[in-house]
Structure 1
């Protein structure tokens, strides 16, 4: 069956399989760290700081990783990412008294490098596997890869909460380490050599994009993901657990279902944004969708301030926010692949996802700081929601200058 598929499709399946396996462990590890260390008495800000190096090294990795991908080939950067994630997981298998804040931050730093090497490699490779005149196909493949990744990240959240309750922290980490090691060995054997390697030798200074469109899209992406993570990464799970009284399994399960639904909507984004009529999105679509998303955290915050039932306001509002954010994210993911150059594609994609990682870093730190400094409870979450709305206003304004009228027929 697989032998009858074209080489491009087979490589797409290998890349997607790698990305899926990595994403499962990444989502599970994030939930494990948040719930386990909050259960040990860490404050929301301290939990946020555990992810500090994860996000910082994600910024650096995307910037440098794009150059490495063009220089060495995307197969190598993807396999290095898988290997580093295995090491990061193994670092958490040490005796419990070794799991200090600095040690966990170091493990998260490796995980951050691994995640963004893997993601940059997967997203960049799609550009090389789709003909230049098949923009509709490109949009569909990017949406499927992005949507399925986030759906599986949600499954990873659920697995993380479940494994923590079932096997404990050490047992959960060990099981993921073994599973990912098997995937890594398969990837070494199956992934095509020199995929994405630039024809010339890219200079290190080429890591910075010279394209105005890519620079604007990258800035919008930074604020878009900062707006999500400022209330989703730390503030939301701590609020659900501490203020609404949800247990670890319920908190992990709900966030897992949210991310799964978010991924499903991402995969369906081409239908939602007009591909069914033969069109692919442009800068105008990015502006309109970012503007619509801005209204949602504002309405959630106002509902909480007016005394609406917090469970209804948060759960209902989060579902609407997730659907709108998913379309925004998928649309952005398509535009960066479209704007990027074909030779050394990972340079442009790496720069763009550097901005993505910067947004997550800013959002993660603000999530813990704003929630804690405003006080535990609704007031803390309201502060995070208002920051989210401000970031989305910035994303909308920046998107106005993105190129228009670049529709393409599938």
Structure 2
């Protein structure tokens, strides 16, 4: 009982760290977007400020998983918190120094921090998972813990958008950044003191070449994840906000508030995804390949129907807003399901290696989606972005057929 209680305390501490980081990350993104919009930057130029944020996420996840297995997840999580504090402090320079290059550098550091923190939190859940309750499988408990962590993170990121806008209005850009840095500094100091020192450390020191997963299941799921998140961001990151502003005449507050609300709702759906998929505790209801195939097939239809509707002259407001809400619900289930499967497939020893490799693919998908969202929208409009999303989801669906049919026999052996 004392060991279980200690594990729960560590889980709560990690979750609290993840929540605090996510809140500052969402607030910082909104601060940068609104501040540079006020300086006259266009939507595509603002999106490019986050290019290094996404790019370094790819590198960080690949190397961070190996680092976590060697030095422990507590240290990688604390490094992430510390780097985010530094990234925030970089933006406290005089306004004249806030060049595009300087902000991109700060965002690059923030991207490294974000993915170190996320990889550490997701990996740590498996090492801290309490014993399954009576009548429940270990996997169903794992799914619920992962869904809670993932869903709450996205809900808090949406709340962070509101916090960033409110702070910018009340105390200005530098005051807002200072407040966020001070809050996260306190969280970081508490984490340095309280987080277990050997959390997630592999028994056998992995070599650097082990950053590439040797598990077929992990490699397949990673490829599916890359296409899944590229499919979301190819129309969500740049094309959608610009479309809402240009076609519907929404101001920046309306666009930011609507997207923040969407992300909060998206996070709530992720939290309850185990109930939606039917994974309520029995061993037979734990989702696997069949669920992954079914849910991505449903998701694939949403952008395709939206594109057909816009081409057929349906009301653009009803089509885009209604389609976005439906897309958010189905995408949230897909994302939560994938997040469970990667932790389930990952090796018990050095879990961060597999999780880091997987989230490297996630970051690569986001990077590709971000770049093509701006380019494709400028060339051919929102309808083309929606067709590209549906095509990428078709790739995800086809890849998912190669996932293991039997969830119980997927772990790789050793590092």
TM normalised by structure 2 equals 0.93
Q: Where does residue 210 of structure 1 map in the other structure?
A: 214
1:171 aligned residue (168, 175, 180): 175
Q: Distance in 2 between matches of 1:362 and 1:150?
A: 21
Native 8 Å contact 2:140 2:281 kept in 1: no
Moved more, 386-395 or 91-100: 91-100
Unaligned runs of 5+ in 2: 410-415
Deviations for 1:166-224, whole angstroms, at most 9, x for unmatched residues? 33322222221111111111111111111001111110000000111100000000010
Q: Distance in 1 between matches of 2:171 and 2:82?
A: 24
Q: Where does residue 5 of structure 2 map in the other structure?
A: 6
Q: Where does residue 109 of structure 2 map in the other structure?
A: 110
Q: Helix, strand or coil for the counterpart of 1:6? A: helix
Q: Where does residue 396 of structure 2 map in the other structure?
A: 395
Q: Where does residue 386 of structure 1 map in the other structure?
A: 387
Does 2:138 match 1:134? yes
Deviations for 1:250-284, whole angstroms, at most 9, x for unmatched residues? 22221111111111111111111111262111112
Native 8 Å contact 2:241 2:255 kept in 1: yes
Q: Distance in 2 between matches of 1:242 and 1:35?
A: 17
Q: Helix, strand or coil for the counterpart of 1:94? A: coil
Q: Distance in 2 between matches of 1:249 and 1:18?
A: 29
Q: Helix, strand or coil for the counterpart of 1:135? A: helix
Native 8 Å contact 1:161 1:253 kept in 2: no
**Where do residues 1-400 of structure 1 align in structure 2 (5 Å cutoff)?**
6-130=5-129, 131=131, 134-276=138-280, 278=282, 279-374=285-380, 380-400=381-401
Moved more, 264-273 or 235-244: 235-244
Deviations for 1:59-91, whole angstroms, at most 9, x for unmatched residues? 000000001100000000000001101111111
Q: Distance in 1 between matches of 2:239 and 2:176?
A: 24
Moved more, 149-158 or 162-171: 162-171
Moved more, 127-136 or 267-276: 127-136
Deviations for 1:91-117, whole angstroms, at most 9, x for unmatched residues? 112222222221111111000000000
Native 8 Å contact 1:284 1:402 kept in 2: no
Offset, 1:233:
1.6
TM normalised by structure 1 equals 0.94
Q: Distance in 1 between matches of 2:313 and 2:170?
A: 37
Q: Distance in 1 between matches of 2:164 and 2:319?
A: 26
Q: Helix, strand or coil for the counterpart of 2:280? A: helix
Q: Which runs of 4+ in 1 moved over 6 A?
A: none
Alpha-carbon spacing, 1:303–1:400, altered in 2? closer, same or farther (3 Å):
same
Offset, 1:235:
2.0
Native 8 Å contact 1:281 1:407 kept in 2: no
| Count of equivalent residues | 401
Q: Helix, strand or coil for the counterpart of 2:403? A: coil
Alpha-carbon spacing, 1:5–1:209, altered in 2? closer, same or farther (3 Å):
closer
Moved more, 215-224 or 381-390: 381-390
Q: Distance in 2 between matches of 1:286 and 1:56?
A: 27
Q: Distance in 1 between matches of 2:163 and 2:388?
A: 30
Offset, 1:246:
1.9
Native 8 Å contact 1:47 1:234 kept in 2: no
Q: Distance in 1 between matches of 2:383 and 2:177?
A: 34
Unaligned runs of 5+ in 1: 375-379
Q: Distance in 1 between matches of 2:243 and 2:28?
A: 20
Q: Where does residue 412 of structure 2 map in the other structure?
A: none
